[in-house]
Amino acid sequence: MKGTYFLGEGQFETRTMPEHELAEREVLIKVGVCGVCGTDVHIFHGDKGSAEVTPPVVLGHEFSGTVAAVGSGVKRLKAGDRVTVDPNSYCGECHYCRIGKKQLCTNLYAIGVNRDGGFAEYCYAPEAQCYQLDPGVPLKYGAMAEPLACCIHGIDQAQIRAGDTVLVVGGGAIGLMMVQLARLSGASKIILSEPMEMRRKAGLEVGADAVVDPVHEDLKSCILEITGVDGVDVVIECVGSPAATAQAFESAKRGTTLLLFSVPKAGTTHPLSLEDVYQKELRIVGSMINPDTHQRAVDMINNGRINFAPIITHCFPVEQVKEAILMQMSSESLKVLVGSGPQ
């Protein structure tokens, strides 16, 4: 079986992968589709992912596929089942695991980050981390379960209430899922701020009430015109750039919650007005991976609650992981997949 190994900054090589006898509760998955994540882009540039990366390793943590074989103790799954995988494993022993915040685990271990992942023909995974897809669900949608699960955790952190107004900054794949989750959470008006026309169009298609081009329009004036108030109740920042973060804070009114969801480049900072935080009672929250939300994501996918059709734009064969990552970085794409294509 083949996999494309990350060898170091910007370097990949497709090789034969080692095989081993399945552990008692282990599953071998024939990978159908694996998404390219912003974390993969960071690793491509030599930054760390959700955990430390030591090449050579097969990246790819957003994947789905078909069970090819199961260990002797596997009970829930059988060969032929279609599954998606939660890549994250937690130590259960560090301070954060022991106080119920395992997403902050200091010994996080992740398939596709520091263990061979889904940019391959096959991948090994513990049974406990496999979630079953309904037979009619395309594997390309199953591959979106992990990023959707992360978004669900972010929405939980944002605590959107019925009737809230929401601004989503950034219309990439994450932003477009956030638009839909905000709608499902009861938001009364959802505004998408995005400079690219293609992404603004996709935003309207997935349910945004209004879209704004922050390069050529004054975002704060547009928010006032749309909502009748000088800001929104919740801002969800999905870019990670200083400019996008500035938009988020400028769009905050009194009592706003700001969810800084994106994965910024290491060392990125933003000047913060402590007076604004105090006087406006701003609530600023982060969101780290997907603790206990993967099943919720799979349930939403199995029941067709999220529209992925406008989000997935490209698919590359497993031998072209580098090309896929470069495409994910380009203005031509939304979500890029690696694998055997739509299934």
Question: Which one, of 188, 181, 186, 184, lies nearest residue 154 by Cα?
Answer: 181
Task: Report the distance separating Cα 302 and Cα 283, nearest Å.
Answer: 33
Residue 292 maps to a domain: no
Residue 279 maps to a domain: yes
Instruction: Please give the average per-residue pLDDT across 287-298, as a whole number.
Output: 97
Instruction: Please give the average per-residue pLDDT across 288-316, as a whole number.
Output: 97
Instruction: Please give the average per-residue pLDDT across 227-234, as a whole number.
Output: 97
**CA dihedral sign of residues 27, 32, 37, 40:** positive
Residue 75 maps to a domain: yes
In this predicted structure, what is the pLDDT of residue 232? 98
Same domain? 13 vs 135: yes
Tell me the CATH number at 122.
3.90.180.10
Task: Report the distance separating Cα 94 and Cα 81, nearest Å.
Answer: 34
Domain encompassing residue 323 = 2-144+311-339
Residue 298 maps to a domain: no
Same domain? 16 vs 113: yes
Q: pLDDT category, 209, cuts 50, 70, 90?
A: very high
Same domain? 60 vs 98: yes
Q: Is the pLDDT of residue 244 over 50?
A: yes
Residue 294 maps to a domain: no
Residue 256 maps to a domain: yes
Q: pLDDT category, 342, cuts 50, 70, 90?
A: very low
- % of the chain exceeding 90 in pLDDT: 95
Residue 296 maps to a domain: no
Same domain? 8 vs 134: yes
Establish how many alpha carbons lie within 13 A of residue 166's alpha carbon, considering only the half-sphere containing its beta carbon.
Answer: 31
State pLDDT tens for residues 30-85.
Answer: 999 999 999 999 999 988 776 789 999 999 999 999 999 999 999 999 999 999 99
Q: In 3-state terms, what secondary structure has residue 4?
A: strand
Amino acid at 30: K
Domain count, the chain: 2
DSSP codes, 117-176 = -SSBSEEEEEGGGEEEPPTTS-HHHHTTHHHHHHHHHHHHHHT--TT-EEEEE--SHHHH
Instruction: Please give the average per-residue pLDDT across 245-272, as a whole number.
Output: 94
Q: Is the pLDDT of residue 112 over 70?
A: yes
Q: pLDDT category, 263, cuts 50, 70, 90?
A: confident
State pLDDT tens for residues 143-161.
Answer: 999 999 999 999 999 999 9
**CA dihedral sign of residues 29, 2, 143, 134:** negative
State pLDDT tens for residues 277-290.
Answer: 999 999 999 999 99
Instruction: Please give the average per-residue pLDDT across 205-233, as a whole number.
Output: 97
Same domain? 240 vs 264: yes
Instruction: Please give the average per-residue pLDDT across 88-109, as a whole number.
Output: 97
- Of 270, 286, 302, which residue constitutes the final position of a domain? 286
In this predicted structure, what is the pLDDT of residue 125? 98
Task: Report the distance separating Cα 227 and Cα 234, nearest Å.
Answer: 13
Q: pLDDT category, 337, cuts 50, 70, 90?
A: very high
Q: What is the mean pLDDT of the chain?
A: 96
State pLDDT tens for residues 119-147.
Answer: 999 999 999 999 999 999 999 999 999 99
Letter string b/e over residues 145-156, b meaning 16 or more CB atoms within 10 A of that residue's CB: bbbbbbbbbbbb
Task: Report the distance separating Cα 262 and Cα 42, nearest Å.
Answer: 12
Chain-centre distance of CA 230, in angstroms? 30
- Residue 100 burial class via C-beta count within 10 angstroms: exposed 0-12, middle 13-18, buried 19 and up: exposed
In this predicted structure, what is the pLDDT of residue 41? 94
Question: Which one, of 134, 142, 152, lies nearest residue 84 by Cα?
Answer: 142
Same domain? 12 vs 46: yes
Same domain? 216 vs 281: yes
Same domain? 126 vs 252: no
Same domain? 200 vs 256: yes
Same domain? 110 vs 176: no
Letter string b/e over residues 320-335, b meaning 16 or more CB atoms within 10 A of that residue's CB: bbbebbbbbeeeebbb
Residue 301 maps to a domain: no
Same domain? 8 vs 86: yes
Same domain? 215 vs 159: yes
Tell me the CATH number at 156.
3.40.50.720
Task: Report the distance separating Cα 267 and Cα 221, nearest Å.
Answer: 31
Q: pLDDT category, 343, cuts 50, 70, 90?
A: low
Amino acid at 134: D
Task: Enumerate residues 6+ apart whose C-beta is below 8 A from 259.
Answer: 154, 157, 158, 234, 235, 236, 237, 285, 286, 287
Instruction: Please give the average per-residue pLDDT across 13-29, as a whole number.
Output: 97
